[in-house]
């Protein structure tokens, strides 16, 4: 077979031919047409990067699957269920000896999940009718409530505070969309006797939602310790998850109860203090008063009352119209704590302080006297023919030194101490204001209750700038006996009395001693806080203590002579409406040596000086020290 020879040709485009000069140029280039192997470092870097990526994926999967598994499981549950936050029980408030001042009473509320009611209208209507019958409500009324509430909320309470048999009946009925929620209701022991200390709780409002802790079904502390220690008392929410499909049961996380407070309050002493003040008010047809008792060695508050008082249990349910008016529209302001927020002229109870300032400045000595305690006349510097006479509250003859002036409450002596008389130069308002400022009279003391006010100490600059008037000698005289524009709180009055009693230390007043958990483990102890010292030498403080003792031995506080221990005291009256109304004040501490208790009593609006405040203090102190003696006898017998 004839084979034909194939002929191959190569066609070359002249433009693609390289000349000798181009070949020579390429030989010096950094590039080459020959392929080079990839370096090992590239493979190593790629392998490490891939291994790190695999490791990161594994760690991420392990974290969300194992470490955070519960979190994402809960999140998934929330995404397929309706979540209701269960309000936690609040912590308990105890007195110093373990007596409960608050309780959490079991309560049952009826929760409606509105989407579970979206079914056959007849069936839903029949269910609502049966539930209404158990609640003793008209069916139309409950239906209207549910219809209106469903427009606003996916879950809401149709009724609160169900009786136990009502709750059991609804559970037995098992109506779709209705759930019985176990809750607690705050209950206060002897509420009206402790309300100014404990306070009360109320439903949260929109103004509370700046704190993302709260849900619309929560309560919050509104006054007293309930408000001051809200973050400790409120606990941690639980949850109920209402599953969307029909396959599972509702699941719940139980709430954690709040922490509890152990206070410095003496339960029995508090009740005695309340009863004694109440009895005086009842007998005199008065309504406003206040009293406080402290341990002068620590600042701890043992008892505190303010009248008119209120029953904090009223806030556990919706207030009636009458209760609302009595609480919030009453001119006597039952919710107002007069001990920490009321500003009053201290009257003659300020005289021991003025005596201390005069001794410290050398204005007088304990031996300096005035000739009598009748009156003092001050000429008008602008018109000598005009003068003003300042009279004592009663006429007393004979020389008066500092001890007798405090014991008998001689105004004329303290006019001289403050503004000057004869050879006594007087302190002057600048020094008086300076000493009062150093003793915190115009400061907030920091008691652990909301609403404390600072006192007010007037000065010439203040009067000129606020009233456009000059300061006169008569203004200094008024301040020297606790009148005029000098204003203090009863809390400060008792704290300064306590400082005299203990030798000069000014303690911060406090009510809570410890914070404990539900197992009584101490979480925090409130340390004793010293604000400072009275700006007076110890020997002068001792002298004033003895002068206050003389008020009990021979002066205006002789009623206390019947106590089983030696007491020191100072009475006081402050004119409110000239010739018509006074405030009766009294301060005391006992025993004279190693004092255990300091008390201040204020009775407002008496027509005359009837010794009302000293009567209250005497009865309380007598009861207290007799109790102490009885307890010592029992201890010895055992």
pLDDT at 63: 65
pLDDT at 27: 47
pLDDT tens digit sequence for 560-574: 999 999 999 999 998
pLDDT at 500: 98
pLDDT at 404: 95
Joined together, the tokens standing for residue 22 give 């181009």
Q: Provide the 3-class DSSP secondary structure of residue 384.
A: strand
Question: Average model confidence (pLDDT) for the chain?
Answer: 87
Pairing of strands 383-396, 238-243: unpaired
User: Across residues 221-228, what is the average pLDDT?
Assistant: 96
pLDDT at 513: 97
Radius of gyration of the chain (CA): 40
Joined together, the tokens standing for residue 626 give 């007799």
Element containing residue 109 per DSSP (H, E) = strand 102-113
Q: What is the largest CA-CA distance in the chain?
A: 170
pLDDT at 71: 56
pLDDT at 391: 82
**Residue (of 544, 630, 215) closest to 358 by Cα position:** 544
Torsion sign, CA atoms 136, 141, 147, 153: negative
Q: Which residues pair with 113 in a beta bridge?
A: 155
CA dist 45 → 40, 56, 58, 170, 386 (Å): 9, 16, 20, 69, 106
Q: Which residues of 615-631 are buried (b: 16+ CB within 10 A; e: fewer)?
A: bbbbbbbbbbbeeeeee
Tell me which of 494 and 48 has the higher pLDDT: 494
Q: What is the separation, in whole angstroms, between the first and last Cα of the chain?
A: 143
User: What domains can be seen in the chain, in order of their start residue?
Assistant: 81-263 (3.90.1310.10), 269-324+338-637 (3.40.710.10)
pLDDT at 119: 65
Question: Quick one: the chain helix, strand, coil %, rounded to 5?
Answer: 40, 25, 35
- pLDDT bin (cut points 50, 70, 90) of residue 334 is very high
61 and 207 Cβ atoms separated by less than 8 Å: no
Residues of the chain above pLDDT 70, percent: 86
pLDDT tens digit sequence for 455-495: 999 999 999 999 999 999 999 999 999 999 999 999 999 99
pLDDT at 42: 62
Please name the residues in contact with 516: beta carbons below 8 A apart, sequence gap of 6 or more. Answer: 259, 260, 261, 262, 522, 523
Q: Which residues pair with 32 in a beta bridge?
A: none
DSSP 489: -
How many Å apart are CA 38 and CA 46, to the nearest integer?
12
Q: Which residue has the tokens 């158990």?
A: 134
Q: Which residue has the tokens 């400045």?
A: 361
For residue 75, is pLDDT > 60? no
How many Å apart are CA 79 and CA 491, to the nearest integer?
54
Element containing residue 632 per DSSP (H, E) = helix 612-637
Q: Provide the 3-class DSSP secondary structure of residue 77.
A: helix
User: Across residues 195-222, what is the average pLDDT?
Assistant: 92
Q: Which residues of 377-410 are buried (b: 16+ CB within 10 A; e: fewer)?
A: ebeeeeeeeeeeebebbeebeeebbbbbbbbbbb
pLDDT tens digit sequence for 427-457: 999 999 999 999 999 999 999 999 999 999 9
- pLDDT bin (cut points 50, 70, 90) of residue 531 is very high
User: Across residues 36-54, what is the average pLDDT?
Assistant: 70
pLDDT at 114: 82
DSSP 101: S
Mean pLDDT: which of 12-16, 143-147, 380-384 is highest? 143-147
- pLDDT bin (cut points 50, 70, 90) of residue 36 is low
Q: Where are the alpha helices (DSSP H) in 513-589?
A: 538-553
CA dist 416 → 108, 352, 427, 432 (Å): 69, 14, 9, 13
For residue 318, is pLDDT > 50? yes
pLDDT at 216: 84
- pLDDT bin (cut points 50, 70, 90) of residue 37 is low
Tell me which of 579 and 218 has the higher pLDDT: 218
- pLDDT bin (cut points 50, 70, 90) of residue 284 is very high
Q: Where are the alpha helices (DSSP H) in 362-459?
A: 402-408, 411-419, 429-438
pLDDT tens digit sequence for 163-181: 889 999 998 998 888 988 8
For residue 47, is pLDDT > 60? yes
């Amino acid at each position: 077979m004839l084979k034909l020879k194939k002929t191959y040709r190569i066609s070359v485009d002249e433009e693609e031919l390289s000349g000798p000069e181009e070949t020579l140029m390429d030989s010096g280039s950094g590039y080459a047409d020959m392929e080079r192997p990839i370096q090992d470092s590239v493979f190593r870097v790629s392998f490490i990067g891939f291994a790190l990526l695999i490791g990161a994926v594994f760690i991420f999967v392990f974290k969300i699957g194992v470490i955070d598994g519960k979190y994402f499981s809960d999140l998934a549950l929330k995404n397929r269920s309706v979540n209701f936050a269960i309000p936690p029980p609040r912590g308990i408030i105890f007195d110093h000896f373990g007596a409960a001042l608050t309780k959490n009473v079991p309560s049952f509320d009826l929760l409606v999940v509105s989407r579970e009611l979206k079914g056959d209208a007849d069936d839903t209507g029949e269910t609502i009718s049966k539930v209404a019958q158990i609640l003793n409500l008209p069916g139309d009324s409950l239906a209207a409530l549910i219809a209106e509430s469903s427009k606003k909320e996916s879950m809401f309470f149709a009724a609160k505070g169900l009786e136990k048999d009502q709750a059991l009946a609804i559970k037995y009925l098992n109506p779709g969309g209705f759930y019985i929620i176990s809750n607690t209701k705050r209950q206060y022991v002897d509420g009206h006797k402790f309300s100014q200390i404990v306070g009360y709780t109320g439903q949260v409002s929109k103004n509370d939602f700046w704190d993302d802790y709260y849900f619309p079904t929560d309560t919050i502390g509104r006054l007293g310790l309930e408000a001051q220690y809200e973050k400790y008392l409120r606990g941690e929410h639980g949850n109920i998850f209402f599953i969307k499909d029909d396959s599972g049961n509702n699941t719940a996380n139980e709430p954690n109860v709040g922490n509890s407070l152990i206070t410095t309050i003496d339960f029995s002493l508090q009740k005695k203090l309340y009863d004694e003040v109440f009895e005086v008010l009842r007998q005199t047809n008065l309504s406003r008063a206040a009293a406080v008792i402290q341990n002068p060695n620590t600042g701890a508050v043992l008892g505190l009352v303010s009248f008119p008082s209120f029953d904090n249990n009223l806030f556990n349910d919706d207030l009636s119209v009458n209760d609302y008016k009595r609480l919030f529209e009453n001119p006597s302001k039952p919710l107002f704590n007069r001990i920490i927020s009321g500003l009053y002229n201290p009257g003659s109870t300020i005289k021991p302080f003025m005596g201390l300032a005069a001794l410290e400045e050398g204005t007088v000595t304990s031996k300096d006297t005035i000739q009598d305690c009748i009156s003092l006349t001050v000429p008008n510097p602008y018109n000598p023919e005009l003068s003003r006479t300042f009279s004592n509250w009663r006429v007393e003859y004979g020389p008066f030194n500092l001890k007798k002036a405090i014991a008998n409450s001689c105004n004329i002596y303290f006019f001289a101490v403050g503004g000057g008389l004869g050879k006594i130069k007087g302190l002057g308002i600048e020094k008086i204001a300076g000493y009062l400022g150093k003793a915190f009279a115009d400061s907030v003391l920091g008691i652990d209750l909301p609403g404390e006010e600072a006192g007010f100490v007037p000065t010439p600059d203040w009067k000129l700038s606020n009233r456009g008037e000059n300061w006169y000698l008569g203004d200094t005289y008024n301040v020297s006996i606790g009148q005029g524009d000098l204003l203090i709180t009863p809390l400060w009055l008792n704290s300064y009395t306590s400082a005299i009693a203990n030798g000069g230390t000014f303690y911060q007043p406090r009510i809570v001693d410890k914070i404990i958990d539900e197992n009584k483990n101490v979480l925090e102890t409130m340390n004793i806080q010293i604000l400072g010292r009275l700006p007076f030498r110890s020997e002068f403080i001792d002298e004033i203590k003895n002068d206050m003792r003389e008020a009990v031995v021979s002066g205006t506080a002789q009623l206390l002579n019947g106590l089983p221990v030696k007491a020191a005291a100072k009475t006081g009256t402050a004119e409110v409406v000239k010739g018509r109304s006074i405030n009766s004040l009294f301060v005391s501490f006992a025993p004279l040596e190693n004092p255990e208790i300091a008390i201040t009593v204020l009775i407002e609006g008496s027509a005359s000086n009837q010794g009302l405040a000293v009567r209250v203090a005497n009865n309380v102190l007598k009861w207290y020290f007799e109790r102490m003696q009885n307890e010592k006898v029992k201890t010895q017998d055992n």
